Structure 1
Amino acid sequence: MQKQKKIPQRKCIACQERDSKKGLIRIVKNKEGQIFLDPAGKANGRGAYICKDCECLKKAIKTKALNKAFKLEVPNEVYENLLEELKAYED
């Protein structure tokens, strides 16, 4: 009998829904302090997960969820860049 492989679960920082790591998209803050989308989920740095949905990202912006996740003040232009990146990724 083969053991079932465990699927890593992550929680969206905006809606608090749990999903598989593949079902969410990772946002990373690297050592240089840059914040960006990491679709591959392999970039070095502190990661936070969000649904692949602009509505969830907008909710995260409103509640400043990334500020809490990364323990720093995230500038508005970073949020705007993330929205643009996610829109391109959604299409």
Structure 2
Amino acid sequence: MREKNNAPERTCIGCMQRDAKASMVRIAVVNEHAEVDFEARRAGRGGYLHPAPECVERFVGLKVKEFRALRRKIERPERLEIAAAIKQRLDRNSKVE
């Protein structure tokens, strides 16, 4: 029998795999604009993405009509902005260590 884990899980909108919410970055829709919500405190609809290069690249290249978690379409320029923000944060964190 599997041990019950009470940690919240979310599905990555890049790779579509379920994982712990704490291991992902939230994408929030704020004033009709999708942006990275690193603190996961913004109000409104949100989706989650692993901060791994392969998930971010897949997210940018997806040809979905609408992200169900966000209930809206995210055009490629907006996806590229999100990817750049995540990459910048990862680069900054790797320099600190």
TM-score (ref. length: structure 2): 0.76
Contact 1:54 1:86 in 2 (8 A): no
1:21 aligned partner: 21
Gaps of 5+ in 2: 92-97
Length, aligned pairs only: 87
Structure 2 Cα separation of the partners of residues 65 and 54 of structure 1: 19
- After superposition, the CA RMSD in angstroms is 2.1
Structure 1 Cα separation of the partners of residues 6 and 64 of structure 2: 28
| Structural mapping, 1:80-91, within 5 Å | 80-91=80-91
1:49 aligned partner: 48
Letter in 2 for 1:55: E
Percent of residue pairs bearing the same amino acid type: 23
Structure 2 Cα separation of the partners of residues 84 and 60 of structure 1: 12
Gaps of 5+ in 1: none
Structure 2 Cα separation of the partners of residues 42 and 84 of structure 1: 20
TM-score (ref. length: structure 1): 0.80
